[in-house]
Amino acid sequence: QPSLSFNKVDLAFTRAQSDEFPGTEYDRDPSLPFAIDFVSPRTVRLRFSTRDVPIGDAASLMLAGPVPSSDAWTVEESTDAITWTGPFGQVRLERDPWHVEFRDADGRPVTRTMGPGEPATFSTPVPFSFVRRAEDMGRSTAAAFELQYDEKLFGAGESFTRFDKRGQKMNLSTRDGMGAQTGLLYKPIPFFLSSKGYGMFVHTSAPVTVDFGRSFDQSNVVYSGDEMLDLFVFLGEPRDVLSEYTAITGRSPVPPLWSFGLWMSRITYQSEAEVRDVAAKLRQYRVPADVIHLDTGWFETDWQSNYEFSTSRFDDPAGMIADLGAMGFKVSLWQLPYYTHDNSVYREVVDGGFHVRNAGGSLPEFDATLDFSNPDAVEWYRGKLKGLLDLGVGVIKADFGEGAPLHGVYASGRTGWYEHNLYPLRYNQAVWDVTKEVTGDGIIWGRSAWAGSQRFPLHWGGDAENTNSAMAATLRAGLSMGLSGFTFWSHDVGGFVQRAPRDLYSRWLPFGALSSHIRTHGAPPREPWEYDPGMVEEFRRALGMRYTLMPYIVAQAKRSSELGHPMMRALFFEFPDDPASWLVDDQYLFGSSLLVAPLFSEERGRDVYLPPGAWIDYQTGRLYEGARWHRIEAGVIPIVLLVRDHTVLPHIALAQSTADMDWSAVELRVFSSDDRVATGLFALPDGSVHELSVMPGADAPIADPLGGAVTWRVTR
């Protein structure tokens, strides 16, 4: 209620007057059910109902399967509290006043709910509560948890804003980001983790807003538009938390080997002749590449997605795809699930009832948006994509998906309040499933996502501007995405909106080459020979580095997939006990052994923070001491790349495509400052991950994990 004092009006929370009539029929103080369940030794589930209805489990697209239960927790009960103790922490339920408190394995406070009047203040922090709207009696919830004074928060999806979310208020609802430098999110994920040893997942598809201490510094408030508040709390270091979260929502399977090569693209190739020319020049100029992407221009009318090649500009699509395949190229095709009135498939969608209906339950709201909650619509859509995949197309770009009508009516029986955020997940799965079924390769190239979309890789970072700031924001987004359960993620090298400035393109290229996947895409030109001979040589060097590192990349992809970890990692992910590593957002670890510091200005050197331990420059061999800052100059490839001391990096001979690689001969490059044993990971494209160890002075691994199937050559 409002309060007036000395020329200011404040709004404070207070117990409302009763407005129920008659009082004999409505309960002013209902007893509402809640549940505390133990999912694993590290995972606790809290559920709170805003109505007096039983709490139960229902099928959820966001979850990878039924939620398990754990018997690793013991319970003690007193008149004041109930306390559960597990191997990694403690949960305490205080009876009066009601509180839920979490502690770590050493008994240190992690976080606790905050009730009315906590802490004593002249301000008005939101308590752990729910709101009953007068307008329609609908409910929404606010879960208020205490923040420690030095706590840092990360995740929440592909966020381009400051890496540490403390002090930010984020609206987690899918939206075309329109670039890489706003708070809009192509891929909001209702999950975050804390520097204090925990993470939280808000299990809902309703809109979520998280106030990470912006309104009141001590309070982290999770606002959920769902009438049932369903929170998973994970205890542990970041790597533990991510493994627990992805055990619940699913992990990213490893995409096919060819997807790790270069994707050559622009917006857009307009004809068969143009595509064939690009393919021929990639091989002529010896620029390694595996995929050629055709964006919006392969239809008769640009942007009009009707799933048919233009007959005036593509004489023989099947022949073109086959010829490109013989050259070692896969073909990627753009499309989207919105159909304008002029699109030839518009009537198919509307007449078949495959669209999201407007609030009146009849016509489309704007464009005809395919309703992926309708099995018949999904089957129709699968048929369209199958025709293309049967031609030999390797992958479908699942563009857009953020704009499902919020007020639309869906075949699921729910409105966009619940279906809007779920739309990307349904969309991702539909494309991934049919591609896997027809080609055998589980892959998409998607822009939108929600919790669970990591099960359908892979995704890229949207339409970044062609600036240094956008490049830095893109890295922050990738790090945040990795801390939200996504193993694989990419970005448009050079930025998307305009022609990439040469210097920016040159510096962005090795950043792309040291990401899980690499695509050059955006306003033309994107092909290096359209710049100058020097750019062609820079492409060869950066991509040559990536292609020869393919055994390392594949091994890290497989291990990361198994654990639910990102390939692009924040420094603190590997060094959680190093306070300085929590402060760095313009560097990253590519897998477990490589530290990457892109160049975000025209200077050819930069300040680099190295976590504890020794580090060796990949390009120059220079040794650096860790746990401190260094000014490091980039090598001939314009990026700073360092290797953990005592690391074995497997390399393979350079090939023009992954299809031409010889995996029977592997070079083991040893990066070591002394005579200790060096270790590393190796994996064949279709095999398991193997650990390698090399003794000082040895010319082969200590033990051959592949029994002579590979010839090893050790270099230092």
> Rounded to an integer, what distance in angstroms lies between the CA atom of residue 326 and that of residue 460?
27
Q: What's the pLDDT tens digit per position in 272-307?
A: 999 999 999 999 999 999 999 999 999 999 999 999
Q: What's the pLDDT tens digit per position in 94-134?
A: 999 999 999 999 999 999 999 998 999 999 899 999 988 87
Contacts 24+ apart (CB under 8 A), 625-634: 627/578, 627/580, 631/605, 631/606, 631/607, 632/597, 632/605, 632/606, 632/607, 632/608, 633/604, 633/605, 634/599, 634/604, 634/605, 634/606
Smallest Cα–Cα separation from 47: which of 59, 39, 36? 36
Q: What's the pLDDT tens digit per position in 520-542?
A: 999 999 999 999 999 999 999 99
Q: Which of 230, 402, 574, 617 is catalytic?
A: 402
Confirm if 200 and 191 have CB atoms less than 8 A apart. Answer: yes
Q: DSSP letter string over 315-361? A: S-HHHHHHHHHHTT-EEEEEE-SEE-TTSTTHHHHHHTT-BPB-TTS
Please tell me whether residue 236 adopts helix, strand or coil conformation: coil
Q: What is the chain's mean pLDDT, rounded?
A: 96
Question: Interior CA angle at 466 toward 461 and 469, to 5°?
Answer: 80
For 511, what's the count of Cα atoms within 13 Å in the CB-facing half-sphere? Answer: 28
Structure tokens at 334: 């753009």
What band does 365 get if pLDDT is binned at 50, 70 and 90?
Answer: confident
Task: List 705's β-bridge partners, or say none.
Answer: none
Q: What's the pLDDT tens digit per position in 124-166?
A: 899 999 988 878 888 999 999 999 999 999 999 999 999 999 9
Q: Which of 226, 240, 295, 463 is catalytic?
A: 463
- Please indicate whether residue 463 is annotated as part of the active site: yes
Confirm if 330 and 321 have CB atoms less than 8 A apart. Answer: no
- Please indicate whether residue 402 is annotated as part of the active site: yes
First to last CA, the chain: 72
> Rounded to an integer, what distance in angstroms lies between the CA atom of residue 48 and that of residue 358?
32
> Rounded to an integer, what distance in angstroms lies between the CA atom of residue 699 and that of residue 416?
62
For residue 347, what pLDDT is reported?
Answer: 96
Q: Which of 399, 527, 578, 645 is catalytic?
A: 399
Q: What's the pLDDT tens digit per position in 77-88?
A: 999 999 999 999
Q: DSSP letter string over 201-235? A: EE--SS-EEEEESSSSTTEEEEEESSSEEEEEEEE
Using a cut of 0.95, tell me whether the model's pTM lies above it: yes
Confirm if 176 and 423 have CB atoms less than 8 A apart. Answer: no
Q: What average pLDDT does the segment 622-651 reach?
A: 98
Query: Percent of the chain having pLDDT more than 70?
Result: 100
Q: For the purposes of burial, counting CB atoms within 10 Å of the CB of 153, is it exposed (0-12), middle (13-18) or buried (19 or more)?
A: buried
Smallest Cα–Cα separation from 403: which of 685, 186, 656, 101? 186
